[in-house]
């Protein structure tokens, strides 16, 4: 009897709250159908050998085979190298440039930020086409400049030792704008009073940088780290156009290897799905860090709101 | 001491200006070369500015490739996906921010948890799914997976959170329906956030590449990004055509960015600082 009551009150509550469910319904149908379902089905596919005719269950064989595959190990090492160098370069360069410009006039900030952001807005595809042209052995501007200083032309994209540095460089310069936008916004949010009192205490610019700016933008740095890591992990076009993963799979990454297995080779969909699962797990792990940060921050929010109300920040002043 | 620090400050600013302009140079080089004769592009030493300003490369690419069709496809994919994203995520984020229902926090946690998952990681099963539905080589297959992503809902929720609950309650007192309250009272107050989302998503849709590449099977269904890279992989056409394809895609984005810089910076910062 009491169970029946509970159930009906549960249903009537659902009915009473139907507006909320209806408002989220369109987003949720798409989210579950085209994101959650494919993710789950990816785990499933990764346990099968998939050919055009049939699918055979093979357990974790796809994973075992991947970890015995030299090119896959190379792809993992390259992806790690790629992420670590692009993240480090972006954070260091982003903080320095942003700290140097954020307290200047609005126009100046917009100009510098705009110069760095336009390559992001025009996309990796366009930037990669452009850099392919610049690096081209015979028609490229870079070899012309090297030549005019008396150097010999360099075959940038055919040299095993140069391909990864070039891919890292092109990715870094095409993405740095995003990082600068984030850091400038974070630094503009630091209450001006902190800098004024530091100035009165005679703290040097460098002291202000290490004692005020760096600690107060820690959360932004964390976000930049997560965001850059994931955008680097999924980078594809730079490798496709600059090197096609070559020479000798020297510049292959997880993303590129997944594409190659899925769409360039026959009957390797299962292994491609397994690479996707590995990428998913890495990104999910990083996402959970983000979730924990979000939790922590919502608790702090109340404090932040009261403090920004009292002290006018630079943003409000401008 | 004072003068020394201002000198080093000036040097620092000069270096930054130099690097900022240098960072833009590749785009200048791309676009300026598309206004030269194709024979001048590979000339060494190069002309730093086009000697004569010609549009031959543009005439060539529009007459001898499907570039006009690719441009239209990109507009459709970016435009429709943006409109749908704005619609579904405005509704969902309103519910998450202002309406009370069982499981709300749990569902939103799933959203946040999957926020950073790139669709590239599940491209293989998604491809299989679209093939089973016979949707490959259609606009729907390029558009819908972008609408499924939770970013828009996440971004807008923070804008809705900053709107006081009293506004909704006063609408309720006047006897307005939830839908009326939503689009006459609340949506206009979140207009800045919606505009930022609109611009960010349009650029994202325009610049999306890998998924469009695996979904487009025929030349007519290629988007501009896919078209450009197919020109790159073709050894036959000259550099002029390759660069012009990239330029056609870049120029609209530069215009969008310069016109709406404020929304870009606002949207990107909101997606980060609030999360």
Contact A36 B114 (CB under 8 A): yes
CA distance B225 to chain A (A): 7
Residue A113 near residue A184 (C-beta atoms within 8 A): yes
pLDDT for B7 equals 87
Q: How far apart are CA A120 and CA A126, in angstroms?
A: 10
Give the per-residue SS3 of B220-231: HHCCHHHHHHHH
**Closest to B31 in 3D by CA, of A44, A27, A129:** A129
Three-state SS string across chain A, please?
A: CHHHHHHHHHHHHHHHCHHHHHHHHHHHHHHHHHHHHHHHHHHHHCCEEECCCCEEECCCHHHHHHHCCHHHHHHHHHHHHHHHHHHHHHHHHHHHHHHHHCCCCHHHHHHHHHHHHHHHHCHHHHHHHHHHHHHCCCCCHHHHHHHHCCCCCCCHHHCHHHHHHHHHHHHHHHHHHHHHHHHHHHHHCCEHHHHHHHHHCCCCHHHHHHHHHHHHCHHHHHHHHHHHHHHHHCCCHHHHHHCCCCCCCCCCCHHHHHHHHHHHCCCCHHHHHHHHHHHHHHHHHHHHHHHHHHHHHHHHHHHHHHHHHHCCEHHHHC
pLDDT at site B266 = 83
The rounded distance, in Å, linking the Cα atoms of A72 and A50 is 19
**Tokens linked to B150:** 């939770």
Given an 8 Å threshold on Cβ–Cβ distance, is B124 in contact with A276?
yes
Q: Quick one: average pLDDT of B240-257? A: 93
The predicted-structure confidence for B150-171, as pLDDT tens digits, reads as follows 999 999 998 899 888 888 888 8
Per-residue confidence (pLDDT) for residue A4, from 0 to 100: 54
Is B184 or A292 the better-scoring residue by pLDDT?
B184
Buried b (16+ CB within 10 A) or exposed e, A240-271: bbbbbbeeebbbbbbbbbbbbbbbeeeebbbb
CB B62 within 8 A of CB A163: no
Question: Do residues B216 and B226 touch, judged by C-beta distance below 8 A?
Answer: yes
The most confident of the ranges A49-58, B40-49, B76-85, B228-237 is B76-85
Is residue A54 included in any domain, yes or no? no
- pLDDT at residue A7 in the model: 63
B140 touches chain A (CB under 8 A): no
Q: Once rounded to an integer, what is the mean pLDDT over residues B43-50?
A: 81
A100 interface with B at CB cutoff 8 Å:
yes
Q: Does B47 touch chain A (CB under 8 A)?
A: no
Q: Which pLDDT belongs to residue A5? A: 58
The β-bridge partners of A56 are: A49
Count up the domains in chain B and report the number.
2
Question: Model ipTM?
Answer: 0.90
**Domain co-membership, B86 together with B41:** no
CA B61/CA B240 separation, integer angstroms = 9
| % of residues, chain B, pLDDT over 90 | 60
Return the pLDDT at B26.
Answer: 95
Q: What is the pLDDT of residues B105-164, one digit of tens each?
A: 999 988 888 888 999 999 999 999 999 999 999 999 999 999 999 999 999 998 899 888
Average pLDDT over residues A63-82: 94
CB nearest to B145's CB, from A19, A20, A34: A34
**pLDDT at residue B236 in the model:** 65
Please give the pLDDT value at position A199: 87
Of the residues B17, B99, B272, the best mutation for testing chain A's interface (the one with the most A CB atoms within 10 Å of its CB) is B272
Of A9 and A238, more confident? A238
Q: With beta carbons under 8 A apart, name residues in chain B contacting A181.
A: 264-265, 268-269
Query: Which residue from A280, A269, A285 is spatially nearest to A58, judged by alpha carbons?
Result: A269
Task: Please indicate, yes or no, whether residues A23 and A156 belong to a single structural domain of this protein.
Answer: no
Provide the chain B residues 51-80 that lie in CB contact (below 8 A) with chain A. none
Q: Cβ of A52 under 8 Å from any chain B Cβ?
A: no
Taking the C-alpha atoms of residue B26 and residue B21, their distance in angstroms, rounded to an integer, is 10
Asked if residue A189 and residue A124 are part of one domain, the reply reads yes
Distance from CA of A293 to the nearest CA of B (A): 8
Chain B positions touching A284 (Cβ under 8 A) are 113-114, 117
Q: Do A236 and B209 touch (CB under 8 A)?
A: yes
Asked if A143 and A26 sit in the same domain, the reply is no
Tokens 């190659």 correspond to A260
Q: Which of A35, A228, A44 is nearest to B122 (CA)?
A: A35
- Asked whether residue A52 is domain-assigned, the answer is no
More confident residue, A294 or B213: B213
Residues B106 and B242 placed together within one structural domain of the fold: yes
Is residue A311 predicted with pLDDT exceeding 80?
no
Last residue of a domain, one of B21, B38, B64: B64
- The residue whose two tokens read 């009272």 is B185
Chain B residues 85-114 within an 8 A CB cutoff of chain A: 87-89, 91-92, 94-96, 99-102, 104, 107, 109, 111-114
Whether B45 and B78 share a structural domain: no
Alpha-carbon distances of A74 from A136, A166, A256, A273, B87, rounded to whole Å: 26, 17, 12, 18, 43
Q: Determine the distance in angstroms separating the CA of A112 from the nearest CA of chain B, rounded to an integer.
A: 6
Quote the domain boundaries for residue A25: 2-45
- Residues A105, A107, A112, CA angle at the centre, nearest 5°? 100
From the centroid of its chain, how far is CA A204? 34
Q: Is B234 on the interface with A (CB under 8 A)?
A: no
**What are the pLDDT digits (tens) for B8-20?**
889 999 999 999 9
> Residue A296's pLDDT band (boundaries 50, 70, 90)?
low
As a whole number of angstroms, the distance between CA A301 and CA A21 comes to 27
* pLDDT at residue A294, rounded to an integer: 67
Q: Cis omega (within 30 of 0) on the bond before A247? A: yes
Q: Residue A120, Cβ neighbours under 10 Å: how many? A: 23
- The answer to whether position A55 is within a domain reads no
**pLDDT, mean of residues A84-110:** 94
Question: In the beta sheet, which residues pair with residue A63?
Answer: none
What residues of chain A, 9 to 38, have a C-beta less than 8 Å from chain B? 13-14, 17, 19-21, 23-24, 26-28, 30-31, 33-38
**A6 and A124 belong to one structural domain:** no
Angstrom distance (rounded) from CA A67 to CA A73: 7
Query: What are the CA-CA distances from residue A119 to residues A114, A124, B22, B203 (Å)?
Result: 9, 8, 11, 12
Q: Report pLDDT for A300.
A: 53
Rounded-to-integer distance, Cα A201 and Cα B47, Å: 54
A154 and A198, same structural domain? yes
Poorest-pLDDT segment among A95-99, A290-294, B21-25, B58-62: A290-294
Q: Clarify whether residues B224 and B181 are in a common domain.
A: yes
Residues B133 and B260 in one domain: yes
Letter string b/e over residues B125-144, b meaning 16 or more CB atoms within 10 A of that residue's CB:
bbbbbbeeeeebebbebbbb
User: Domain check: are A129 and A250 in the same one?
Assistant: yes
Same domain, A271 and A142: yes
Q: Is A230 on the interface with B (CB under 8 A)?
A: yes
Q: Is B253's Cβ below 8 Å from some Cβ in A?
A: yes
Which residue matches tokens 């002291």?
A207
Confidence band of B84 (pLDDT split at 50, 70, 90): very high
- Statement: residue A3 has pLDDT above 80: no
Q: What CA–CA distance (Å, rounded) separates A66 from A277?
A: 12
Q: Are B143 and A278 in contact (CB under 8 A)?
A: no
The pair of three-digit structure tokens given for residue A60, joined into one six-digit string: 């974790």
Contact (CB, 8 A) for A192 and A311: yes
- Give the pLDDT of residue A298: 57
Residue pLDDT, tens place only, B236-245: 667 889 999 9
**Structural domain boundaries, residue B19:** 1-64
Q: Do B29 and A181 touch (CB under 8 A)?
A: no
Whether the CB-CB separation of B249 and A126 falls below 8 Å is answered with yes
Residue B146 sits in a domain of what CATH number? 1.10.3720.10
The per-residue pLDDT for A308 is: 40
Residue A73 contacts B where some CB pair is shorter than 8 Å: no
Tell whether B220 and B239 lie within a shared domain.
yes
* pLDDT tens-digit map of A168-207: 999 999 999 999 999 999 999 899 888 888 988 888 888 8
How high does pLDDT run on average in chain B? 90
Same domain for A32 and A175: no
Boundary (domain end) residue, out of B64, B80, B110: B64
Q: Please tell me whether residues A275 and A305 are part of one structural domain.
A: yes
Q: Please tell me whether residues A23 and A129 are part of one structural domain.
A: no
Judged by a CB distance cut-off of 8 A, whether residue A198 touches chain B is no
Do both B241 and B189 map to the same domain? yes
- How many domains does one find in chain A? 2
Q: Are residues B71 and B56 in the same domain?
A: no
- Domain check: are A158 and A276 in the same one? yes
Asked whether the beta carbons of B123 and B214 are under 8 A apart, the reply is: yes
Are A165 and A253 in a shared domain? yes
Let me know if residue A125 belongs to a domain: yes
> What pLDDT does A301 receive?
47
| Residue B192 and residue B163 share a domain | yes
Chain B positions touching A124 (Cβ under 8 A) are 207, 209
pLDDT score of B214 more than 90: yes
Work out the pLDDT band at A288, boundaries 50, 70, 90. confident
Q: Which residue is it, tokens 């790159």?
A: B232
Same domain? B60 vs B138: no
- How does pLDDT run across A132-178, given as a tens digit for each residue? 999 988 778 998 888 888 888 888 888 888 889 999 999 999 999 99
Residues B15 and B144 in one domain: no
| B43 lies in the same domain as B162 | no
Query: Which residue, of B47, B64, B81, is where some domain finishes?
Result: B64
Alpha-carbon dihedral A80, A81, A85, A86, rounded to 10 degrees: -60
**pLDDT band, very low/low/confident/very high, at A93 (cuts 50, 70, 90):** very high
Cα-Cα end-to-end distance for chain B = 42
Look up the CATH number of the domain holding residue A301.
1.10.3720.10
More confident residue, B167 or A37: A37
- CA-CA distance, B61 to A111, in Å (whole number)? 33
């Amino acid at each position: 009897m009491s169970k029946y009551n509970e159930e009906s009150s549960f249903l009537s509550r659902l009915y009473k709250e139907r507006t909320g469910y209806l408002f989220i319904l369109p987003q949720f149908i798409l989210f579950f159908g085209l994101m959650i379902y494919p993710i789950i089905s990816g785990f499933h596919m990764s346990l099968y050998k998939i050919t055009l005719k049939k699918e055979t269950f093979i357990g974790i064989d796809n994973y075992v085979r991947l970890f015995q595959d030299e090119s896959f190990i190379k792809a993992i090492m390259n992806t790690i190298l790629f992420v670590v160098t692009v993240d480090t370069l972006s954070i260091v360069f982003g903080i320095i440039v942003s700290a140097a410009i954020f307290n200047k006039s609005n126009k100046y900030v917009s100009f510098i930020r705009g110069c760095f952001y336009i390559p992001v807005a025009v996309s990796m595809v366009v930037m990669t086409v452009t850099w392919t042209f610049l690096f081209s052995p015979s028609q490229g501007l870079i070899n012309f400049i090297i030549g005019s200083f008396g150097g010999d032309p360099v075959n940038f994209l055919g040299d095993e030792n140069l391909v990864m540095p070039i891919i890292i460089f092109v990715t870094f310069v095409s993405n740095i704008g995003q990082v600068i936008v984030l850091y400038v916004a974070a630094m503009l949010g630091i209450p001006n009073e902190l800098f004024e009192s530091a100035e009165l205490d005679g703290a040097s610019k460098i002291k202000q940088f290490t004692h005020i700016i760096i600690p107060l933008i820690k959360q932004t740095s964390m976000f930049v780290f997560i965001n850059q890591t994931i955008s680097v992990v999924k980078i594809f076009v730079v490798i496709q156009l600059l090197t096609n993963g070559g020479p000798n799979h020297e510049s292959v990454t997880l993303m590129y290897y997944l594409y190659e297995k899925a769409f360039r080779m026959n009957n390797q969909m299962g292994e491609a799905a397994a690479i996707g699962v590995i990428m998913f797990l890495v990104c999910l792990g990083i996402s959970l860090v983000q979730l924990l940060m979000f939790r922590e921050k919502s608790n702090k929010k109340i404090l932040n709101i009261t403090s920004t109300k009292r002290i006018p920040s630079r943003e409000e002043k401008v | 001491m004072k003068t020394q620090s201002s000198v080093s400050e000036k040097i620092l600013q000069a270096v930054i200006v130099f690097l900022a302009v240098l960072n833009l140079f590749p785009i200048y080089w791309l676009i300026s070369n598309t206004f030269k004769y194709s024979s001048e592009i590979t000339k060494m030493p190069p002309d730093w500015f086009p000697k004569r300003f010609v549009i031959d490369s543009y005439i060539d690419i529009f007459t001898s490739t499907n570039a006009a069709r690719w441009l239209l496809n990109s507009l459709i994919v970016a435009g429709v996906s943006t409109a749908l994203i704005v619609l579904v995520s405005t509704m969902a984020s309103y519910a998450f921010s202002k309406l009370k229902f069982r499981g709300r926090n749990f569902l939103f946690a799933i959203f946040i948890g999957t926020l950073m998952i790139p669709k590239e990681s599940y491209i293989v099963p998604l491809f299989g799914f679209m093939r089973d539905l016979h949707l490959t080589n259609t606009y729907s297959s390029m558009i819908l997976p972008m609408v499924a992503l939770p970013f828009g809902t996440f971004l807008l929720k923070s804008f809705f959170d900053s709107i006081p609950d009293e506004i909704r309650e006063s609408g309720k007192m006047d006897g307005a329906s939830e839908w009326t309250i939503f689009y006459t009272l609340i949506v206009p107050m979140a207009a800045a956030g919606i505009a930022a989302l609109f611009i960010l998503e349009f650029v994202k849709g325009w610049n999306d590449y890998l998924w469009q590449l695996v979904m487009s099977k025929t030349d007519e269904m290629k988007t501009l990004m896919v078209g450009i890279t197919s020109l790159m992989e073709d050894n036959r056409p000259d550099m002029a055509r390759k660069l012009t394809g990239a330029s056609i895609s870049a120029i609209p984005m530069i215009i969008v960015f310069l016109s709406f810089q404020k929304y870009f910076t606002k949207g990107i910062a909101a997606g980060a600082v609030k999360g």
